[in-house]
Amino acid sequence: MHTHPLTGRVIKTTKAPNLGDRGNLVDYLHNIAWSNELFQDDIFFERMIEDLDGPSVIISQPFIQGTSPTEPQIIAWMEAQGYIKDGYNKWRHPDTGPVIAYTHPGNFILDAEGNA
């Protein structure tokens, strides 16, 4: 992971053959689209590269200066969005259905205003 000096966007590359929770390229790309839709993220698919281990995906997203939230802050934020606990670091929205996994401090950022 690094920040592109001209765009200020963070560049992330998956390590083949690991592509998110399900390890599947199509599911990984769907998860990016859902993240953009559900949380107003700005994750952009840059490209895919192939090596001997399989495909790696390169994405970018805006750099946000911030800190990692605590578990109680994550819980409060998820509940405020209407999600209910559905397992370890996992939440489900009872009305709309999405299940969000890996909700640990390493996957959240609190910005200067304290927003997740």
**Per-residue pLDDT reduced to its tens digit, 47-90:** 999 988 888 899 999 998 899 999 999 999 999 999 999 999 99
**pLDDT for the residue 115:** 76
Do 27 and 19 contact (CB within 8 A), yes or no? yes
Same domain (yes/no): 58, 72: no
Same domain (yes/no): 75, 50: no
Structure tokens at 62: 């805006």
Same domain (yes/no): 18, 58: yes
Same domain (yes/no): 8, 46: yes
Same domain (yes/no): 59, 110: no
Same domain (yes/no): 5, 28: yes
Instruction: Read off the pLDDT band of 10 (50, 70, 90).
Output: very high
On whether the pTM is more than 0.85, the answer is: no
Same domain (yes/no): 71, 59: no
Q: In what order do the strands lie in the sheet with 2-3?
A: 2-3, 9-13, 54-62, 44-51
Same domain (yes/no): 57, 71: no
Same domain (yes/no): 70, 49: no
Count of structural domains within the chain: 2
Do 19 and 25 contact (CB within 8 A), yes or no? yes
Average pLDDT over residues 7-28: 83
- Tell me the residue range of the domain where 41 lies: 1-63
